[in-house]
A and B are shown apart, each in its own frame.
Chain A
Amino acid sequence: MEDTIVAISTAQGVGAISIIRVSGKDAIKIVCKIFSNKNFFNAPSHTIHYGYIMDGNEKIDEVLVSLMRAPKTFTKEDVVEINAHGSIMTTDKILEVLLINGCRLAEPGEFTKRAFLNGRIDLTEAEGIMNLINSKTDISRKIALNQVGGKVSSMIHDLRDDLASIIANIEVNIDYPEYEDIEEMTIDKINSNLSELEDKIDKILKESKNGEILTNGIKTVIVGKPNVGKSSLLNRLIGEEKAIVTDIRGTTRDSVEANLKLDNLILNLIDTAGIRETDDVVESIGVDKSIKLIDQADLILFVVNYNERLSEEDLIILNKLKGKNYITVVNKCDLDKKIDDEKLENVIYISALKDNNIDKIGDRIKQMFNLEKIETTDLTYLTSARSGAILRKVLDSVKEVRKGIKNNYPIDMVEIDLKDIWNLLGEIIGESYDEELLDNLFSRFCVGK
C-alpha cells in the first residue's frame, strides 16, 4: 500500500464541478508535477491553491487544489483534492495525467479502507462511511453519519462496560476469595443483569432492523388474485409520487425488481412480473405464487376488490398473512361495495383509478415499521449486516448463558460464556482483548495483601 491512489470522488456526469482525490505519500509530489502553481509544493497543510492543471504545456483546466498533509486527513496520508470543472472530458483527462505521472486508480472503497487500516476510523465507522456513500435517502444518510461519528461504537461500548463490570466482579470473587466484604456475584444477580442486557440488545436489534429498512429498503410484495388492480396500484405508487423506478432485474440476490421511493422510504419490490401484465390479460400471478412471495417479504400489500365478495382464494391468502406485516388494500372503492370486509384487518380503502387515498399507504407503512419518530430522534442503528449478525450471535449467547444458569452450572462456566459475549461485542467495534478487564477489576475493587 505504498501506492498513491487517485479517483474521481464526485458522481460521474455533468455537474458544475467535479473533485479528483489523490491520497498517498507521493500525492503532493505527483500533483505538483501537473500543477502550474509551484508554490503549492511547500505550502502549509489545509490550504487551497489556484492554478491550471497542465499536460505538458497544454492547459487542461482551471482548478482549485486543496492540500491536506498527513496525518490530519481522511486517510491519515497526504491528500490532495482537485476541484475541476464538471465535464466528463476534462475530469477524465485530469485523471489520465495523474495516472501517467505515478498514481494508481483506487479500487472501490479504497480511501475508506486506508482510513481504517491507518487507524483513522474503526470498523463500525468504516461501515458507516460505506453506508453513507451508498445511502439512498436522506434518513439513511443521517444514520450513516451517526455511525461515522461513533454512536454505534459508544452504544456497544456501553453494553460492553455493563458486562465488564459483571465479569470483573466474578473475577475478583475468584481471584480474591478471602475478601468476604466484596459483593459476591451470585447466579441470581448475574441472571437479572443478563436479562437487562438481553433487553438492551433486543432493542438495538429491533431499531437496527428499522435502520436497515431505512438504509436498504423494505422488501415488499404486492399480492392478490387476478384482476384486483395490482398493476394499477403499482403504477399509481410510481406515478403519484413521481418516484424513480430503477429496473435492476436479475442483479440482486433478493430478486428485487424495482426500488420505489416513497417519501423517505424505499420499497424494494420483489417479483413485479405478474403485476406488470395489463389488467385485461389474466394475470400470471396466481394464489400459489402469492403465497410463495409472502414468505420472502418484509411487507405485503394485499389487494382485494371492493366490488366483490371475498373469494376462497382471497381467504387462503389472508390465512397465509397471519403474523406478517401486511396492509390490506381494498381497491376499486369508486364502485359499489360488495365486499364482506369485517374479516379484514389493517385496511386502507383506495381507488387506484380515481387516485383516492394512495398517499395513506406510505403513512401506514411508516406507522407499521415505527419509522414516524425516526426522523427526529437519535438515529443510532447498526446498519451493517456484519454488526447485526454478531449482535444476533450475542443475543443467542446471552440466552445460552441463562440456560446454563438454569442448569446450575457453576459460576466459572457461566463466566466463560460471559467473556465470549464480551469478546463478540469487541468484534463489532474491532476491539479485542487487552488490559481493559484487569483495569476494571483493580479500579473497582480494593483487594491485595
Chain B
Amino acid sequence: MNYEVIVVGGGHAGCEAALATARMGHKTLLVTGNINNIADMPCNPSIGGSAKGIVVREIDALGGEMGNNADKSLLQIKMLNTAKGPAVRSLRAQADKIIYPKNMINTLNNTDNLDIKEALVKDVITSNNKVNGVLLENGEEINSKIVILTTGTYMNADIMIGDTRHREGPHGERPSNYLSDNLAKKGFKIKRLKTGTPPRIDKDSIDFSKAKKEDGDKVFHTFSFDNDPMYDIDKQVPCFLIYTNDETHKIIRDNLNKSSMYGGLLDIKGVGPRYCPSIEDKIVRFSDKERHQLFLEPESLYYDDIYLQGFSTSMPYDVQEKMVHSLSGLENAKILKYAYAIEYDAIVPTQLKFNLETKLIENLFTAGQINGTSGYEEAACQGLMAGINASLKLEGKDPFILRRDEAYIGVLIDDLITKGIRDPYRLLTSRAEYRLLLRTDNADLRLREYGHKFGLVNKEKYDKFLKKKNDIEKASLEFKEKRLTPKNNDYLESLGTKPLKDGVSLYDLLRRPEINVEDLTKFLDNEYDVDVLEQVSISSKYEGYIKKALREAEKLKHLENKKIPNDIDYDAMHNLASEAKQKLKEVRPNTIGQAMRISGVNPADISILTMYMKWG
C-alpha cells in the first residue's frame, strides 16, 4: 500500500493532521502505538481556556475537528473574562475523557482516504535529505511522500515518581525508544522537556460539602461556528474549588528532597513549564503564600476519577497520600492514580520552516509537543497547519502561513520558530500583540475563507458564513443610517443614558458604554442574529482601538514584506553580535519582521542587517 502522507502519533496534533490531509484528498496513514489511546487526554479534562479557547475556534474556522468534537463531549462550558472586554473572552469546557476520544475515533474511521495502523515508528526513511517513508520497530517499511511527526511526550519518555524513573509513556503506555535518537543522528537538535500531572481521586471518597462549587454558564455556548448546543444546560457537571493549607505545606517542605525534582532524582535534564509548576515549586518559590488554589474536576461521566488541578507533583506515593489527605474534604480520599512527572524529547523548533516542515529533511513535518509546546489546543492547531501545508506541498502550492495579526495560530508558530523555546510553550493572550483583532467572536471572519479555499469547509458551512458576513455589512449600514432624535429621549432616559440634542445614528449611540446593542434593535427594519449584532456592537464600541490595532498590523505587514534573501551570509556581517549571528544563522528568518522577533537579536543587530541588505 502506498500512502502520500504518514502521520506518526494519534494525539490531538496527529488527529488534526491526518484529517486535514485525508480531507484534502491525500491518501493518509495514521500510525499510533495504541489505537485505543487515540485523542487521549492524559492531563486535564478540559478543552479551551484563556487564548486556547480562541485557538479552538480558529481550528474550527479553518475546518479542523477539535471544536466540533469538544461540542459533542462537554461536561460543562463557560465563557471566561466576560467582564474584561471582548478581546480576551475565551471558552473553556470540561470534556468527558471517554466521550471525547470516542467521538474523534468515530470521525477518523468515517473519513475517506484515511487508514489507521497500530505500530511504533523507529525511524524516518530518507534519501538525499528527502522523506521516503517510515521504518517500524518490527522492521516493516511503509513508503510515503510526506511524514508528519506528532509524537507528543512519547519520545524517550521517562515517568518519574520520587526517586524512581521508568522508561514509559503517559499512564504506562509504550514509549518511542528509537525515533528521537535516529532524528538526532540525522542532525536534529533535541531538547529534553518535562511536565507533570496531578493525582486522580475517587469521587465517592471526597467530601464536596467543604468545597466551593463552580458551575458552567447558564447561557449556551459552542466552540464550533456550525453547531447548535448539544448539551442540557441544567445538567452540566460542576467543578469544585479547594485550597492547600499549612499542613499540606509542611508535609511538602518536610519531604522536599524525596520529590524527583528536588533531589529524588539527580539526573533530570528536562525543563519544566513555567506556567505549570508542580505544587513543590509553588511552595518553594512562593513560600510566603499561605494557601494555593486547587480545583476538583470531573474526568468523565463513565468513571469516578476526579482530577486534582493544581497539585501536580513527583513525590513518592506515601508522601502523595499524606499531601492529599491534608486537604480539606479529602481527609479520606482514595487516590486512584498517583501524580507523576514525565521527561521527554522534543526537537528544537527553530529547526522548522514556517510551514512546519523541517529545514533538514524535505517533506518531514512536525507538530504538537514534539515542537516544544504544551496543551491539547496548541498541539491540535499545529497538526491542522502541518496537515494543510503537507497537502499544499504535495499539490505544488504555496505554503499557508498565518501572520501574527491573523490568528493565535500564527502567533504560536511564529513564536516557536523565531524565538525557540525555553520551557514547554503555552499560548497566552499576552503573547499576541494584536489580540483585539484575534477575538473569539471573529475567528470565522478571519479564517473561514482559507478553510474553504483548502476544501476543509464544505459548501453548506461556507454559504452560512457568507450570509453572516453579508448580514454584518447590512446591519452596520442600517445602524449607521438609522438616526434617533430628541423625540426618542424618553426611551433613552429609560436606558439611563443622556438625552439627545440633535439626531444621532444608532451606530454612534452604540458607542455609549451604557447602551447595549439589544436596546436599539427595535429601531431596525430588519432582524439580525445575535452573532451579527455582536459584530456591529464591537466595531462601534471599540472602533478607535480596532483602528489602532489595524494600523499597527499594517506596520507589521510592512516589515514582513521586507524579504531577507535566502542566500544571505550572516558570517560576512562582522558587526553583528555573535549571539545574534548565531540565532540568525539558526532560524534563517524570511523577513525583517521575523528577524526582529528572534530572541537575542537586538534592534542594533537589525539596523546592521538592514544596512548590510542595502549596501552589502
List of A residues within 8 angstroms of B312 by Cβ: 449
B289 touches A446 (CB 8 A): yes
List of A residues within 8 angstroms of B548 by Cβ: 416
Write the nearest CB–CB distance from B310 to chain A, whole angstroms. 6
Write the nearest CB–CB distance from A411 to chain B, whole angstroms. 5
A-B contact pairs, 15 of them (CB 8 A): A117-B607, A174-B50, A174-B81, A177-B81, A181-B243, A412-B88, A413-B545, A416-B548, A416-B549, A431-B603, A432-B596, A435-B419, A441-B430, A446-B277, A448-B282
The residue on A at minimum CB distance from B289 is A446
Whole-angstrom distance between the alpha carbons of A416 and B429 in the complex? 11
**Quick check: is A41 within 8 A (CB to CB) of the other chain?**
no
Chain A positions 425 through 436: 1 when the CB is less than 8 Å from some CB of chain B, otherwise 0: 000001111110
**Quick check: is B274 within 8 A (CB to CB) of the other chain?**
yes
Whole-angstrom distance between the alpha carbons of A179 and B214 in the complex? 12
A448 touches B275 (CB 8 A): yes
The residue on A at minimum CB distance from B572 is A2
List of A residues within 8 angstroms of B282 by Cβ: 446, 448
Whole-angstrom distance between the alpha carbons of A167 and B429 in the complex? 12
A181 touches B80 (CB 8 A): no
B574 touches A434 (CB 8 A): no
Whole-angstrom distance between the alpha carbons of A244 and B535 in the complex? 68
- Once A175-B429, A449-B312 are accepted as A-B contacts, the answer to whether A410 and B599 lie under 8 Å apart by CB is no
A410 touches B84 (CB 8 A): yes
Write the nearest CB–CB distance from B597 to chain A, whole angstroms. 8
List of B residues within 8 angstroms of A433 by Cβ: 433, 597
| Chain B interface size, under 10 / 10 to 19 / 20 to 34 / 35 or more | 35 or more
B604 contacts which of A117, A416, A434, A435 (Cβ < 8 Å)? A117
A416 touches B545 (CB 8 A): yes
**Quick check: is A119 within 8 A (CB to CB) of the other chain?**
yes
**Quick check: is B235 within 8 A (CB to CB) of the other chain?**
no
Whole-angstrom distance between the alpha carbons of A86 and B16 in the complex? 77
**Quick check: is A291 within 8 A (CB to CB) of the other chain?**
no
CB interface residues, B 247-304, toward A, < 8 Å: 273-277, 282, 285-286, 289, 291-293, 295
Chain A positions 142 through 167: 1 when the CB is less than 8 Å from some CB of chain B, otherwise 0: 00000000000000000000000001
Write the nearest CB–CB distance from A70 to chain B, whole angstroms. 11
A430 touches B604 (CB 8 A): yes
Chain B positions 529 through 564: 1 when the CB is less than 8 Å from some CB of chain A, otherwise 0: 000000000000010010011000000000000000
Chain A positions 116 through 128: 1 when the CB is less than 8 Å from some CB of chain B, otherwise 0: 1111000000000
Whole-angstrom distance between the alpha carbons of A419 and B577 in the complex? 28
Chain A positions 74 through 114: 1 when the CB is less than 8 Å from some CB of chain B, otherwise 0: 00000000000000000000000000000000000000001
**Quick check: is A408 within 8 A (CB to CB) of the other chain?**
yes
**Supplied contacts A416-B545, A446-B289, A448-B275, 19 more A-B pairs, CB within 8 Å:** A1-B611, A25-B574, A118-B575, A119-B577, A174-B50, A175-B430, A178-B80, A181-B243, A409-B513, A411-B84, A412-B86, A416-B548, A430-B602, A430-B604, A434-B599, A442-B275, A446-B292, A449-B276, A449-B312
List of A residues within 8 angstroms of B549 by Cβ: 416
Whole-angstrom distance between the alpha carbons of A178 and B430 in the complex? 17
List of A residues within 8 angstroms of B602 by Cβ: 119, 430-432
**Quick check: is A407 within 8 A (CB to CB) of the other chain?**
yes
The residue on A at minimum CB distance from B580 is A119
B84 touches A412 (CB 8 A): yes
B596 touches A174 (CB 8 A): no
**Quick check: is B51 within 8 A (CB to CB) of the other chain?**
yes
**Quick check: is A447 within 8 A (CB to CB) of the other chain?**
yes
**Quick check: is B172 within 8 A (CB to CB) of the other chain?**
no
Whole-angstrom distance between the alpha carbons of A116 and B50 in the complex? 40
Chain B positions 587 through 616: 1 when the CB is less than 8 Å from some CB of chain A, otherwise 0: 000000000110100111001100100000
A174 contacts which of B86, B198, B429, B604 (Cβ < 8 Å)? B429
**Quick check: is A173 within 8 A (CB to CB) of the other chain?**
yes
**Quick check: is A437 within 8 A (CB to CB) of the other chain?**
yes
List of B residues within 8 angstroms of A446 by Cβ: 277, 282, 285-286, 289, 292
Whole-angstrom distance between the alpha carbons of A408 and B419 in the complex? 36
List of A residues within 8 angstroms of B545 by Cβ: 409, 413, 416
The residue on A at minimum CB distance from B52 is A175
Write the nearest CB–CB distance from B589 to chain A, whole angstroms. 15
B603 touches A432 (CB 8 A): yes
**Quick check: is A438 within 8 A (CB to CB) of the other chain?**
yes
**Quick check: is A171 within 8 A (CB to CB) of the other chain?**
yes
Whole-angstrom distance between the alpha carbons of A47 and B573 in the complex? 29
**Quick check: is A180 within 8 A (CB to CB) of the other chain?**
yes
List of B residues within 8 angstroms of A442 by Cβ: 274-275
A177 touches B50 (CB 8 A): yes
A175 touches B604 (CB 8 A): no
List of B residues within 8 angstroms of A25 by Cβ: 574
Whole-angstrom distance between the alpha carbons of A1 and B616 in the complex? 10
Whole-angstrom distance between the alpha carbons of A416 and B86 in the complex? 13
A413 touches B436 (CB 8 A): yes
Write the nearest CB–CB distance from A179 to chain B, whole angstroms. 6
